[in-house]
Structure 1
């Protein structure tokens, strides 16, 4: 069974580590307890939209990028669970911004 919260936690942890930030630093910037962020990263707690926005702000990531990465990860897990050959998803490029125009 694919859990959104687990995929979300994985993405948030990966992005935090890429930026070389500690849980303590993200906690202070997002104004969220360190323990709660840890539980979110481990997929043990659900993040509200407000909390997720605070975490994305602390990580200097657009919410849309995080949700896109989580969506891609969930799609890959679903395909694997169904026995399908997953289609590789390209890594997001932070220097490219999608336009609604």
Structure 2
């Protein structure tokens, strides 16, 4: 793995922090609204902790966005590495290397794609 490649938890944390700041919320206020401790929320935003699906749902709910919207924002802003894209197919189409079941049995597939200018994470 390339040392410059950010981890998914770092990308998610950065997206949550951007949205919190965009809304003018403090860590304390978001922690109170979400029911997530301020320390854990800080750890998630800094990419130090992976949020569980329950924690992610609580945070995004308190921010007034869906988990899928948060994922889209991560995908839209994520540069993962030189010239490789990862595409997550949430539509049920297959043909990729990796396939897993997501929420409510939605099939998730991931496949690398070459993109000029860097790597993007995309939710299809």
Alignment TM-score, normalising by the size of structure 1:
0.75
Aligned length: 85
Q: Please state if 1:52 is matched with 2:56.
A: yes
Which residue of the partner structure matches residue 77 of structure 1? Answer: 80
Larger RCO, structure (CA 8 Å, separation 6 or more): 1
More helix by share: 1
Distance 2:6 2:23 in 1: 27
- Structure 1 residues not aligned, in runs of 5+: 89-101
Report the Cα offset of residue 87 of structure 1: 8.6
Q: How does 1:26-41 map to 2 (within 5 A)?
A: 26-41=30-45
Highest CA radius of gyration, 1 or 2?
A: 2
Q: Distance in 1 between matches of 2:119 and 2:9?
A: 22
- Report runs of 4+ in structure 1 exceeding 3 Å deviation: none
Q: After superposition, where does 1:13-28 map in structure 2 within 5 Å?
A: 13-28=17-32
TM-score of the pair, normalised by structure 2:
0.62
Measured on the aligned residues, the alpha-carbon RMSD in Å equals: 2.0
Structure 2, unpaired ranges of 5+: 85-115
